[in-house]
Chains A and B, each alone.
Chain A
Amino acid sequence: MNNSSPFLGFGLGLRTDHFQYILDNRPELDWFEILSENYMVDGGKPRYFLDAIKEHYPVVMHGVSMSIGSTDPLNMDYLKQLKLLAEHVQPKWISDHLCWTTVNHINSHDLLPLPYNEEAINHLVERIKIVQETLERPFLIENLSSYLNYNNSELEEWDFINEIARLSGCKILLDINNIYVSARNHGFKPEVYVDAIDKDAVWQFHLAGHTDYGNYVIDTHDHDVPDPVWDLYRYALKRFGPISTMIERDDHIPEFPDLYQELQVAKDIAYQEIPSLNKQVLSC
């Protein structure tokens, strides 16, 4: 319960379908997370609504295109655009995934897994330091949902992510659903992952749904948060205390009030697990 991360409260991913509803109704919500790439355009509807909504809510920026683990050179044009957007949005922090998406300048547009070994750690730490120096804002890395591991992995994923956070100084966006999905796909207990992650490094939780195919699970973000993910969230709260939490929904997006209700479930669970939370003043 002594995590020193700034606690924003409970948020949602800002989605196009909800722009007008949010402006018209100003729902009581602590913060929004935006997908950075959706707003890295010159103008138009997304930028208009972002500007209007950020006047009323704190925002964090979440990206999918940094390709921090790629062996291609860091895309400095992308980083400069990201920094420009950040200067405009003034997010509480910026996050991206612990993965690679591009090699030889060809973009898979997917979050591809890295081997958990020393070579990858050194590569990532060096690049994350450059990112942090460039962005000049807190930077968080998110754990992936993955479907395979490599023969040349030398560490468990949780040790890999801890080591990168420790050596680079970045923070962790812990995706509770991704832990569950990867646990099912690789056959480990998700609680082991939660127990192993450095308490002080975690600044944000993601919650989401997935598609269960029986002998494997795909991270689809197109369903409600299922019970096993709620259970793991409850477990994580016990370990980490109050962490800024949001629900990610990217497909089959429900009406805003339905998503808002789902966030109330996250809030209720947090209040049950951390009774002092009701009285706590948000830190940002």
Chain B
Amino acid sequence: MSTLKKLQDDFSAYLLTEDDEIINLVMEQGELDKYSRLNIYKNAYNVRLRSCIETDHPMLALYLGDELFEKMVSAYISEYPSKFTSLRYFCDALPHYLKQDEFFKTVPILAEIASFERLMMSAFDAAEADKRASINELQKLEPDNWPTIKLKFHPSASLFEANWNSVESWQALKNEEAPSEAIENTRYWIIWRGTDRLTQFRNIPNEAYIMFNCFKDDYNFADVCELLQEHLPEDKIGPLTVQHLSLWLEMGVIHEICF
């Protein structure tokens, strides 16, 4: 092993653990002792990662409160040291951590709030599309073309299935209100970046959630309607699908209507 490699291994070990072998390589200089010099780096490491978690998950931090947030931060930094070039992705495993940690998994809404915040981030910096489809395109469709239409969604659009009142709690905290007690409650949400570049989300019914997933999997309109027969009375399928399509077009969620 090269001397430089050994130095970097030892320095990294000091940042991540209690291993202080690097102290032998640190030069004695002036009034500030060697450990104080090393600890400037160690403190900066922890402060930077803590700050990243707090910035990316502000409502989760509020939901947890100071004590539990610090407990989560400390464990996450220790168990998931960053392997990313950018801090943007450091918290990608936070929902997973909250789901499997013995302590935090007893409060499942936490992992959901974390997942929701990560999806909001993904919508914020998702790729741009060269255009968004308009309601006019739908209105101009020949009736014969309807069965074969397919949808391409804007790259920022995604779905979120919440089994707890996680989004409602997130909203309450965002509005500086106390969240309700955690309750099991399955709801579906669509998240996207609007034409004004602001990240948005909206509650959608079950059939819209199914429609979105089918279109995303390249189903055409006829296939989607057929699949919806398992979930809706036949006479409701036409009006409801058109209603959802129109709303998505208005929201700017659809990039392109194609065949």
Taking beta carbons and an 8 Å cutoff, which residues of A are in contact with B?
A: 37, 40-48, 65, 70-71, 75, 77-78, 100, 103-110, 112, 114-115, 119-120, 123, 147-153, 185-187, 215-216, 218
Q: Are A148 and B34 in contact (CB under 8 A)?
A: yes
A160 smallest CB distance to B (angstroms): 13
For B88, the chain A residues whose CB sits under 8 A away are 37, 41
Q: Are B40 and A103 in contact (CB under 8 A)?
A: no
Q: Contacts A78-B85, A110-B44; is A71 near B30 (CB within 8 Å)?
A: no
Q: Are A107 and B32 in contact (CB under 8 A)?
A: no
B177 smallest CB distance to A (angstroms): 27
What are 30 A-B contacts with C-beta separation under 8 Å?
A37-B85, A41-B88, A41-B125, A42-B155, A43-B128, A43-B155, A44-B125, A44-B128, A45-B125, A45-B197, A65-B86, A71-B2, A71-B4, A71-B8, A75-B85, A108-B12, A109-B52, A114-B4, A115-B25, A119-B4, A147-B37, A148-B27, A148-B38, A150-B7, A150-B27, A151-B26, A185-B29, A185-B32, A186-B29, A187-B30
Closest chain B residue to A123, Cβ basis: B4
**Total count of chain B residues near the partner, CB < 8 A:** 48
B16 within 8 A of A: yes
Closest chain A residue to B84, Cβ basis: A107
Closest chain A residue to B124, Cβ basis: A44
Which of the residues A75, A78, A103, A218 comes within 8 Å of B9, measured between beta carbons? A103
Q: Are A107 and B82 in contact (CB under 8 A)?
A: yes
Q: Are A43 and B26 in contact (CB under 8 A)?
A: no
Q: Are A216 and B40 in contact (CB under 8 A)?
A: yes
Q: Are A147 and B41 in contact (CB under 8 A)?
A: yes
B87 within 8 A of A: yes
Closest chain A residue to B43, Cβ basis: A218
B146 smallest CB distance to A (angstroms): 31
CA distance A149 to B87 in the complex (A): 27
B236 within 8 A of A: no
Q: Contacts A148-B26, A151-B25, A186-B29; is A43 near B81 (CB within 8 Å)?
A: no
Q: Are A109 and B155 in contact (CB under 8 A)?
A: no
For A112, the chain B residues whose CB sits under 8 A away are 8, 11, 41
Closest chain B residue to A72, Cβ basis: B8
For A78, the chain B residues whose CB sits under 8 A away are 85
For B34, the chain A residues whose CB sits under 8 A away are 148
For B44, the chain A residues whose CB sits under 8 A away are 110
Contacts beyond the supplied A114-B4, A215-B32: 7 A-B pairs with Cβ under 8 Å: A42-B126, A43-B128, A43-B155, A45-B197, A65-B85, A104-B9, A148-B40
Closest chain B residue to A216, Cβ basis: B32
CA distance A48 to B193 in the complex (A): 13
28-68 of chain B: CB within 8 A of chain A: 29-32, 34, 36-38, 40-41, 44-45, 48-49, 52
Q: Are B25 and A150 in contact (CB under 8 A)?
A: yes
A222 smallest CB distance to B (angstroms): 13
Q: Are A47 and B12 in contact (CB under 8 A)?
A: no
CA distance A147 to B7 in the complex (A): 16
Q: Contacts A107-B82, A108-B12, A218-B40; is A44 near B4 (CB within 8 Å)?
A: no
CA distance A107 to B36 in the complex (A): 22
Shortest Cβ-Cβ A-B pairs, 5 listed:
A42-B127, A43-B128, A44-B125, A148-B37, A41-B125
For B90, the chain A residues whose CB sits under 8 A away are 109
Q: Are A106 and B27 in contact (CB under 8 A)?
A: no
CA distance A71 to B12 in the complex (A): 12
CA distance A106 to B84 in the complex (A): 8
B140 within 8 A of A: no
A132 smallest CB distance to B (angstroms): 20
CA distance A153 to B26 in the complex (A): 10
CA distance A173 to B104 in the complex (A): 46
Q: Are B125 and A46 in contact (CB under 8 A)?
A: yes
For B83, the chain A residues whose CB sits under 8 A away are 105-107
Q: Are A109 and B82 in contact (CB under 8 A)?
A: yes
A49 smallest CB distance to B (angstroms): 9
Q: Are B85 and A187 in contact (CB under 8 A)?
A: no
A51 smallest CB distance to B (angstroms): 10
B3 within 8 A of A: yes
CA distance A107 to B83 in the complex (A): 6
Q: Are A109 and B25 in contact (CB under 8 A)?
A: no
CA distance A254 to B174 in the complex (A): 25
Closest chain B residue to A147, Cβ basis: B40
B176 smallest CB distance to A (angstroms): 22
